[in-house]
Structure 1
């Protein structure tokens, strides 16, 4: 599973949500018109409409055709993704690191052949891109490798938390990337992790995953 970047519509929905939480848009108040919202957020009409649809489904907005869109609730539970967006990158990395060994062990026990093939695809991509020094693409492949393992672990909640954390870390990397030397050095330990999962050796998979977290190559 490839990490998906946040869409413009989701960005707008998040900013509208913040405005509602901060009482910029009160319950019962009509939102600005679509052209006004397009100007405020600097996006096109389709992104505004999709953002409103997202918040309507959540029961936050109510659209009255020909009249306008109204705020009907400010009881909003901030999503895990939004909380991670506001967190320090070190905290997000710690969350992901705490999950790695458990996820690897469960993936070794629960993976199927298709999931194993996906893990191998990203492992090979990681190696090729590291050798070619294509840093951003290499980091994407590395993230996808670990998320593919999370996909195979058999626990939907663990996978979701791990995927959101990985997406956040990827965005942070994009603004501070350098080269792929560390990926080349760590390719062998990632290959050993794959083999442990292939051989359904949960104990070995957990041990190697922890070595990757601790950067013991």
Structure 2
């Protein structure tokens, strides 16, 4: 019986416990609301709220006209938790996947406004790389990389990169502490090469240069 408040959270945790114990298998349909409400000693509205919570945590899936089905035994980790746990190498590998494709797309979709943004952000990055504190330099570097993402004109890639930025920022600051010879600050040419390939509408070259640059960055910490 579920007695403690809030009932919906308690109901969700009880359902999750029973799913994790194997009472319902992957792909199996849960009993109806009335049945579950009787089993847990709560109202049907509480069951509906508990199901919504577990659907949001990607454990259950509501299929209109069919019912509620088990799609995972455990709740998926929140994206912010995943990012917090990622180490520097994982962050750089994630950037490789996102930014390589973004550079490829940008080379076919960039606009005159995008090219102007490249010029501004590259100039700011060059200036910051010479003598600015690490945090200022990181912001200037990220501004250029975001300009590449934006030039791809893919809202999903932009949103994904923006959610990634806080973890990228921390990873870069940590990486700069390991980069005693300041290789990252001295790679302005690599960034200009990416921008040049995008400007010249050469998607494969743009992707290759983005991959080469980020692989070089990864080598600093490997």
Interval of TM-score (by shorter of Structure 1 and Structure 2): 0.5 to 0.7
| Structure 1 length-normalised TM | 0.60
Report the equivalent of 1:146: 145
Alignment of 1:82-93 (within 5 A): 82-93=81-92
Alignment of 1:66-77 (within 5 A): 74-75=53-54, 76-77=56-57
Work out the CA distance in 1 between the residues paired with 2:152 and 2:80.
Answer: 21
Alignment of 1:1-217 (within 5 A): 26-27=6-7, 74-75=53-54, 76-77=56-57, 79-174=78-173, 177-178=176-177, 181-215=182-216
Report the equivalent of 1:20: none
Q: 1:105 to 1:132 in 2, by over 3 A?
A: same
Work out the CA distance in 2 between the residues paired with 1:100 and 1:84.
Answer: 17
| Superposed CA offset, 1:129-171 (max 9, x none) | 1112432111111111111111111222122222322331202
Shift of 1:100: 2.1
Q: Which has more radius of gyration?
A: 2
RMSD: 2.9
Q: How many residues align?
A: 152
Q: 1:136 to 1:25 in 2, by over 3 A?
A: farther
Q: 1:124 to 1:25 in 2, by over 3 A?
A: farther
Work out the CA distance in 2 between the residues paired with 1:27 and 1:150.
Answer: 44
Detail structure 1 runs of 4+ shifted over 4 Å in the superposition: none
Q: Is the 8 A contact 1:136 1:177 kept in 2?
A: no
Q: 1:81 to 1:189 in 2, by over 3 A?
A: same
Shift of 1:176: 6.0
Work out the CA distance in 1 between the residues paired with 2:165 and 2:176.
Answer: 15
| Structure 2 length-normalised TM | 0.58
- Segments of structure 2 that go 5 or more residues without pairing to the other structure are 10-48, 58-76, 218-222
